[in-house]
Amino acid sequence: MDVGDDDDGVVSDGSTTTMVYPPTSPLANGNAGVAVDDALTHQFLAYDSKQETGMVGLKNQGATCYMNSLLQTLFHLRAFRQVVYDTPSEKEDTNDSVSLALQRVFYRLQTQSKAVSTKELTRSFGWSQIDSFMQHDVQELYRILCDRLEEKMKNTKVDSAIKRLFEGKVRSFVQCVNVEFQSFRDESFYDLQLDVKGCKDIYESFRKYVEIEMLQGDNQYEAEGYGKQDAKKGIRFLQFPPVLNIQLKRFEYDPLRDGMVKIHDRFEFPKTLVLDDFISSSSDAQEKKENSNSEGKKQPSGSHVYHLHSVLVHSGDVHGGHYYVFIRPGKDIAQSSNWFKFDDDQISCVDEQTAIEGNYGSGSPGIESGPSTPLYSSMLCSPEASSNGNMDFRRADAIPDPDRGADD
């Protein structure tokens, strides 16, 4: 926590501001500081997220703010929420079922008027109470959830639904310059890790990601049947997913310090992201050919446009800190400018500048130093592009919830 230079008793940890007893109060009445503190505490405790925003938060078990931020992000992806509800929940499911526990969390987020507990979900991960007081990696948790759900969805009507939402494809290639030889390997991704250091914005990071490396001189490529050859090495995007999860590399190893450091560089990202320049021309042609729905309606082709859905922020340094997330919920996010800050059990309305520009990073070390995960969506703003565009929650009230209302 940092105390203001004026020593005015305002303590800020980057996400909350609290009044404390002024060490050198000019007030004659020594109880004035107590009165101010009590008033703010009462105001904080009396705040009702449901009444103010129509939404409820998640309880922090000790150090689960990172998980709460991720869960709120996924919950407010309507297509993902529907997939979770459509995942079969059988009678033999026990407390170690991640899919059932996640269904219950989502259901309670929709129906309860107070902050929702996540203890049942963390128990389904196999975590002990001690684990709940340790911060885990957000992307690691994201993969755990997706993997467990995909396993549960096999051979059901929602088989491969997670892949259809989040999976993109890239091609790593080496192409010889002077002879007709090339090799390549296609891979899938569920999130993209983009450089912050040395890049002014997200477009520059994408250009760096697909930048061609020349293999020549002592670093020539050994081409089968041709020996050592000058070659081009690089990556091409073959397919972008409907929901694009971008992990900004704000942490890196510093050999001089022999440890991890946080990068505070200013890094800009837009409200609308256009990725036409980064898709392989051959895959784009194939997409144009296949880009029509089951009703025969022609879909927009040759345009890979994404709209910013959420910005997950880490406040602090490599040794600790706090996670919260800014989300633009709703069915048609392309037309919406309504942003909310989800900070554990507290939800508040914020303006667009706070949600986006306020998280570019300061360019110098400080508490607020930019987002760790901006998430873009192309599907949620284009309902006719997918059968999942219009979501309903008919199965919500059918989710087994034997202990609903219990505050565990």
Q: Report, as residue numbers or ranges, the catalytic residues.
A: 65, 322
DSSP states along 256-307: TTTEEEE-----B--SEEE-GGGB-HHHHHHHHHH-B-TT-PBPP-S--EEE
The tokens describing 313, both together, are 């922020």
Contact 279, 304 (CB under 8 A): yes
Which residues, in sequence order, are bridge partners of residue 373?
312
Map tokens 């459509």 to a residue. 86
Please compute Rg for the chain using Cα positions: 24
Contact 244, 237 (CB under 8 A): no
Distances (CA, A) of 67 to 153, 197, 381: 22, 26, 26
> How is the chain split among helix, strand and coil, in percent rounded to 5?
30, 30, 40
Report the candidate in 309, 314, 248 with the shortest Cα–Cα distance to residue 15: 314
Read off the DSSP letter of residue 338.
Answer: -
Which residue type occupies 37?
A: D
Q: How far apart are CA 334 and CA 338, in angstroms?
A: 11
Residue 206 DSSP SS3: helix
Map tokens 């500081």 to a residue. 33
The tokens describing 240, both together, are 């972008």
Q: How far apart are CA 14 and CA 98, in angstroms?
A: 32
